[in-house]
Amino acid sequence: MNVEVLSSEYFSNHHYFTARKDAYQLPSGKKVDPYFVVEMPSSVTAMAITQNNEVVIIEQYRHPINQSILELPGGFIENGEDPSVAVKRELLEETGYDFEQIEWLATTYGNPGVLNGVTYLYLATGGVKVSKQTLDANEEITIQLKSLEETRQLLRDSKIKQSMHALCLFHGFSKLDQLKK
């Protein structure tokens, strides 16, 4: 679609929160002004399964919702970094596990009505604990190892509240079910 951006003005420019006010014109001639966009860094997450067939679930406090929630390991992609490299790095940093195989599952946008950040979803298998966690200064992450069935139940019971992580589990279980056939 040929959309003409009429103006774009940044009012916040921070690595984790960059926001701008745009005005644009649709091909029909309709003008939209203002339209607010939050620019997010691209990110990765993985359904990570150890050699013992346990899913690595993390628990982490999320200040915007004032809750500690269950999630999958992952994080932001560094400038110029390939997503497949970023997911391997994030898994090692957040969990201390190295994975034998990492396979891309899907690409998603968390809320494309406001956010522009893309998240790459992966299935990581054959995980072996090789080091301690090396967390960012603002992270406190507790690792929980769950069986595949326990993880399916967490998904069914809506205990994975991070929507992109739930989607990653959905795709991961679909892939694992296909492999069983």
Kindly write down the DSSP assignment for every residue of 110-121, as one continuous string: S-TTTB--EEEE
Domains of the chain as residue ranges with CATH:
4-39 (no CATH), 43-180 (3.90.79.10)
Predicted local confidence at residue 16, as pLDDT: 75
Whose tokens are 């406001």? That residue is 114
Assign 136 a pLDDT band (cuts: 50, 70, 90).
Answer: confident
Q: Work out whether strand 118-129 and strand 43-50 pair parallel, antiparallel, or are unpaired.
A: parallel
d(CA 66, CA 74): 20
CA distances from 21 to 93, 109, 113, 117, 138 (A): 35, 20, 13, 16, 29
Higher-confidence residue of 177 and 138: namely 177
Q: What percent of the chain clears pLDDT 90, i.e. is strictly above it?
A: 89
Distance CA 19, CA 37 (A): 6
Confidence of residue 180 (pLDDT cuts 50, 70, 90): confident
